[in-house]
Amino acid sequence: MNLKDYFENTAGTGVLATADAEGRVDAAIYARPHMLEDGTAAFIMLDRLTHKNLQSNPYATFLFMEKGEGYKGVRLFLKKLREETDPELIESLSRRCVSQDHLQGTKFLVVFELEKILNLLGPGTPDIVV
């Protein structure tokens, strides 16, 4: 299975962890990433702490725990490549109703390189390709 199919077909809960330039850590609940054609992963985010941290420290980790029994899922180790603010692009990727989203402020599409993928538990790699 590839990572795009995995995230499109697997229900679960995701947590994106970032740290600022001084190493102060933050973790926030995030939806599954958008897997782009070039193998990068993208998240839609508002201008809050997670986004602010990525301005000074490009590294993040996304932990995804599959819904159901036990502890199954993946950990993605990420490095920020770029961000976009094009509202049409962001709306085209949004998985939920966006009619009131303008009230929350500017949205960013933050694109990451996948540096490493591990199973949720243990050091092994999942049977998933990028």
pTM of the prediction? 0.90
- Between CA 43 and CA 16 the distance in angstroms is 10
Q: Any idea which of 27-36, 50-59, 63-72, 95-104 has the lowest mean pLDDT?
A: 95-104
* Structural domains of the chain in order of their starting residue, each with its CATH number: 3-119 (2.30.110.10)
Alpha-carbon torsion 61, 66, 67, 68, what sign?
A: negative
- Between CA 13 and CA 31 the distance in angstroms is 7
At residue 4, φ and ψ (nearest 5 deg) are: -60, -50
122: confidence class by pLDDT, cuts 50, 70, 90? confident
Q: What is the mean pLDDT of the chain?
A: 91
The string of pLDDT tens digits covering residues 28-58 is 999 999 999 999 999 999 999 999 999 999 9
Select from 3, 125, 113 the least CA-distant residue to 59.
Answer: 113
